[in-house]
Structure 1
Amino acid sequence: MRGFLLGLFCFLCVHESLRAESTCKLKAKFNLSGYKNVEKKRVVIGGMFPVHMRVASSDGNTSALPASSGCDGFNFRTFRWTQTMLFAINEINQREDLLPNTDLGYVIYDSCFTISKAVEGTLTYLTGQDEAVPNYRCGNGPPLASLVGAGGSDLSIATARILGLYHFPQVSYSSTCSALNNKFQFPTFLRTIPNDLHQSRAMAQMVLHFGWTWVGTIAAEDDYGKYGIKDFKEQVEEAGVCISFSETLPKVSSPEAIRSIAQTIVESTAKIIVVFSSDVDFSPLIGELLRHNVTNRTWIASEAWVTSALINQPGVRADIPGLQRHLLDLDPYADALTEEFWETVGLSLFDPANSTTRHTSVGNCEADPLGCKCVHFIVYKAVYAVAHALHNLEHCVEGNGPFVGGSCTNMTNFEPWQLMYYVKNVRYKMPNTGEEIYFEDGDIEGFYDIINWQVNGNGEISYVTVGHYNGSAAPEERMHIRNESIVWNNEELEPPRSVCSENCQPGKRKGIRQGEPVCCFDCIPCADGEISNTTNARECILCTGDDWSNQAHDACVPKIIEFLAFGEPLGITLIIISAFGAFITIGVGVVLFMYIRTPLVKANDPLLSFLLLLSLVVTFLCSIVFLGEPQNWSCMTSQVALALGFAVACTVWLIILPPHPVKNTAAQNIKIILECDEGSVVFICCIFAYDILLALLAFAFAFIARKLEDHFSEAKCFTFGMLVFFIVWISFVPAYLSTRGKFMVAVQIFAILASSFGLLTCIFLPKCYILLVKPERNKEEMMKPRPKPKDGSSTGTSASLATAATDVNTSFASTAIDELPGN
Structure 2
Amino acid sequence: MEIRHFLLGLCAFCLFHRRASAESTCNLKAKFNLSGYKDVEKKKVVIGGMFPIHKRIASNDGNTLRLPVSSDCEGFNFRTFRWTQAMLFAINEINKREDLLPNTDLGYVIYDSCFTISKAVEGTLTYLTGQDEAVPNYRCGDGPPLAALVGAGGSDLSIATARILGLYHFPQVSYSSTCSALESKFQFPTFLRTIPNDKHQSTAIAKMVLHFGWTWVGTIAADDDYGKYGIKDFKEQVEEAGVCISFSETLSPEDIQRIVQTVVEATAKIIVVFSSDVDLSPLITELLRQNVTNRTWIATEAWVTSLWAKGCTLTDSLLGGTLGFAVKRASIPGFQRYLLDMDPYTDPLTEEFWETVCLGLPDGLCTGCESVAKLNNTYFDVSQLRITYSVYKAVYAVAHALHNLEHCKEGQGPFNGKDCADITDFEPWQVSLPHTDEEIYFDKGDVEGFYEIINWQFSSNGEISYVIVGHYNGSAAPEDRMNILNDSIVWNSEPPRSVCSENCQPGTRKGIRQGEPVCCFDCIPCADGEISNTSNARECILCGVDDWSNDAHDACVPKIIEFLAFGEPLGITFLFIALLFLFKVVFIMNVGTPLVKANDALLSFSLLFSLVVTFLCSIFFLGQPQNWSCMTSQVALALGFAFCLSSIMSGYTLLPHCVCYEMPLSTHLNIFSFLYTQGIACGVWLIMLPPHSIKNTSAKNIKIILECDEGSVVFICCIFSYDILLALLAFIFAFIARKLEDNFSEGKCITFGMLVFFIVWISFVPAYLSTRGKFMVAVQIFAILASSFGLLTCIFLPKCYILLVKPECNTEEMMRPHAKTRDGTATGTSASLATAATEVNATISSMHSRRGRYLCTKNLTFKHSSLVHTEQDKF
By the TM > 0.5 criterion, same fold? yes
Maintained 8 Å contact 1:736/1:748: yes
Cα displacement string for residues 326-385 of structure 1 (whole angstroms, at most 9, x for unaligned residues): 111111111111111111122599977443333543987675732xx1111110001111
Superposition pairs for residues 537-552 of structure 1, below 5 Å? 537-552=537-552
Where structure 2 has 5 or more consecutive residues not aligned to the other structure, the ranges are: 1-20, 307-321, 641-674, 820-875
Kindly tell me: are residues 336 and 784 of structure 1, through their superposed partners in 2, closer, same or farther at Cα, counting changes over 3 Å?
same
Deviation at 1:292, TM superposition (A): 3.1
1:76 counterpart residue number: 78
How far apart in 2 are the matches of 1:537 and 1:352? 67
2:50 counterpart residue number: 48
1:86 counterpart residue number: 88
Deviation at 1:724, TM superposition (A): 0.6
Maintained 8 Å contact 1:445/1:471: yes
Cα displacement string for residues 6-51 of structure 1 (whole angstroms, at most 9, x for unaligned residues): xxxxxxxxxxxxx9xx998845321001111111111111111000
How far apart in 2 are the matches of 1:131 and 1:229? 42
Read off the aligned partner of 1:293 and give its amino acid letter: N
Q: 2:474 aligns with which of 460, 471, 475?
A: 471
Superposition pairs for residues 177-576 of structure 1, below 5 Å? 177-250=179-252, 253-254=253-254, 257-307=255-305, 310-315=323-328, 317-346=329-358, 353-361=367-375, 369-370=383-384, 373-419=385-431, 422-423=432-433, 425-428=434-437, 435-490=438-493, 492=494, 495-566=495-566, 571-572=567-568, 574-576=569-571
Secondary structure of the residue that 1:102 maps to in structure 2? coil
Secondary structure of the residue that 1:60 maps to in structure 2? coil
Deviation at 1:749, TM superposition (A): 1.6
Deviation at 1:473, TM superposition (A): 1.6
How far apart in 1 are the matches of 2:205 and 2:281? 21
How far apart in 1 are the matches of 2:468 and 2:532? 41
Secondary structure of the residue that 1:385 maps to in structure 2? helix
How far apart in 1 are the matches of 2:377 and 2:765? 103
Which stretch of the first structure deviates more once superposed, 108-117 or 518-527? 518-527
Maintained 8 Å contact 1:30/1:131: no
Maintained 8 Å contact 2:40/2:46: yes
Deviation at 1:223, TM superposition (A): 0.6
Kindly tell me: are residues 786 and 271 of structure 1, through their superposed partners in 2, closer, same or farther at Cα, counting changes over 3 Å?
farther
Kindly tell me: are residues 361 and 458 of structure 1, through their superposed partners in 2, closer, same or farther at Cα, counting changes over 3 Å?
closer
Deviation at 1:311, TM superposition (A): 2.9
How far apart in 2 are the matches of 1:281 and 1:559? 65
Cα displacement string for residues 267-325 of structure 1 (whole angstroms, at most 9, x for unaligned residues): 2222211111000100111122223322222111111113257333323x221111111
Matched, 1:589 2:606: no
Maintained 8 Å contact 1:225/1:277: yes
Deviation at 1:586, TM superposition (A): 2.1
Where structure 1 has 5 or more consecutive residues not aligned to the other structure, the ranges are: 1-18, 429-434, 788-823
Task: Report the TM-score, using the length of structure 1 for normalisation.
Answer: 0.86
Deviation at 1:648, TM superposition (A): 4.3
Deviation at 1:607, TM superposition (A): 1.1
Kindly tell me: are residues 554 and 732 of structure 1, through their superposed partners in 2, closer, same or farther at Cα, counting changes over 3 Å?
same
Matched, 1:772 2:804: yes
Cα displacement string for residues 162-200 of structure 1 (whole angstroms, at most 9, x for unaligned residues): 111122111111111111111111111111111111111
Maintained 8 Å contact 1:325/1:363: no
1:711 counterpart residue number: 743
2:131 counterpart residue number: 129
Overall identity of the aligned pairs, in %: 78
How far apart in 1 are the matches of 2:603 and 2:701? 49
Read off the aligned partner of 2:510 and give its amino acid letter: K
How far apart in 2 are the matches of 1:327 and 1:281? 27
Matched, 1:725 2:757: yes
Deviation at 1:540, TM superposition (A): 1.3
Deviation at 1:595, TM superposition (A): 2.9
Which stretch of the first structure deviates more once superposed, 104-113 or 295-304? 295-304
Which stretch of the first structure deviates more once superposed, 120-129 or 654-663? 654-663
1:806 counterpart residue number: none
How far apart in 1 are the matches of 2:761 and 2:354? 113
Q: 2:774 aligns with which of 739, 742, 758?
A: 742
How far apart in 2 are the matches of 1:40 and 1:23? 27
Kindly tell me: are residues 405 and 774 of structure 1, through their superposed partners in 2, closer, same or farther at Cα, counting changes over 3 Å?
closer
Cα displacement string for residues 763-805 of structure 1 (whole angstroms, at most 9, x for unaligned residues): 1122223333333433445445989xxxxxxxxxxxxxxxxxx
Secondary structure of the residue that 1:194 maps to in structure 2? coil
Secondary structure of the residue that 2:42 maps to in structure 1? coil
1:631 counterpart residue number: 626
How far apart in 2 are the matches of 1:707 and 1:502? 84
Read off the aligned partner of 2:138 and give its amino acid letter: Y
How far apart in 1 are the matches of 2:527 and 2:91? 75
Superposition pairs for residues 588-667 of structure 1, below 5 Å? 588-642=583-637, 643-644=639-640, 645=675, 646-667=678-699
Secondary structure of the residue that 1:500 maps to in structure 2? coil
Maintained 8 Å contact 1:508/1:532: yes
Cα displacement string for residues 474-514 of structure 1 (whole angstroms, at most 9, x for unaligned residues): 22222222222111222x5xx42222222222211111111
Deviation at 1:616, TM superposition (A): 1.5
How far apart in 2 are the matches of 1:130 and 1:626? 115
1:808 counterpart residue number: none
Deviation at 1:674, TM superposition (A): 2.2
How far apart in 2 are the matches of 1:782 and 1:222? 125
How far apart in 2 are the matches of 1:158 and 1:51? 18
Deviation at 1:161, TM superposition (A): 0.6
How far apart in 1 are the matches of 2:613 and 2:325? 94
Kindly tell me: are residues 343 and 782 of structure 1, through their superposed partners in 2, closer, same or farther at Cα, counting changes over 3 Å?
same
2:16 counterpart residue number: none
Maintained 8 Å contact 2:175/2:391: yes
RMSD of the TM alignment (CA)? Answer: 2.4
Task: Report the TM-score, using the length of structure 2 for normalisation.
Answer: 0.81
How far apart in 1 are the matches of 2:531 and 2:588? 66
Deviation at 1:722, TM superposition (A): 0.6
Which stretch of the first structure deviates more once superposed, 270-279 or 465-474? 465-474
Cα displacement string for residues 610-663 of structure 1 (whole angstroms, at most 9, x for unaligned residues): 100111223223323323333344333322333243444434433433333322
How far apart in 2 are the matches of 1:777 and 1:361? 136
Superposition pairs for residues 83-162 of structure 1, below 5 Å? 83-129=85-131, 133-162=135-164
Kindly tell me: are residues 591 and 159 of structure 1, through their superposed partners in 2, closer, same or farther at Cα, counting changes over 3 Å?
same
Read off the aligned partner of 2:406 and give its amino acid letter: E
Maintained 8 Å contact 2:201/2:325: no
Q: 2:721 aligns with which of 680, 689, 697?
A: 689
Maintained 8 Å contact 1:328/1:360: no
How far apart in 2 are the matches of 1:113 and 1:301? 20
How far apart in 1 are the matches of 2:388 and 2:84? 9
2:645 counterpart residue number: none
1:5 counterpart residue number: none
How far apart in 1 are the matches of 2:364 and 2:246? 55
Maintained 8 Å contact 1:732/1:751: yes
Kindly tell me: are residues 683 and 785 of structure 1, through their superposed partners in 2, closer, same or farther at Cα, counting changes over 3 Å?
farther
Kindly tell me: are residues 58 and 368 of structure 1, through their superposed partners in 2, closer, same or farther at Cα, counting changes over 3 Å?
farther
Maintained 8 Å contact 1:177/1:224: yes
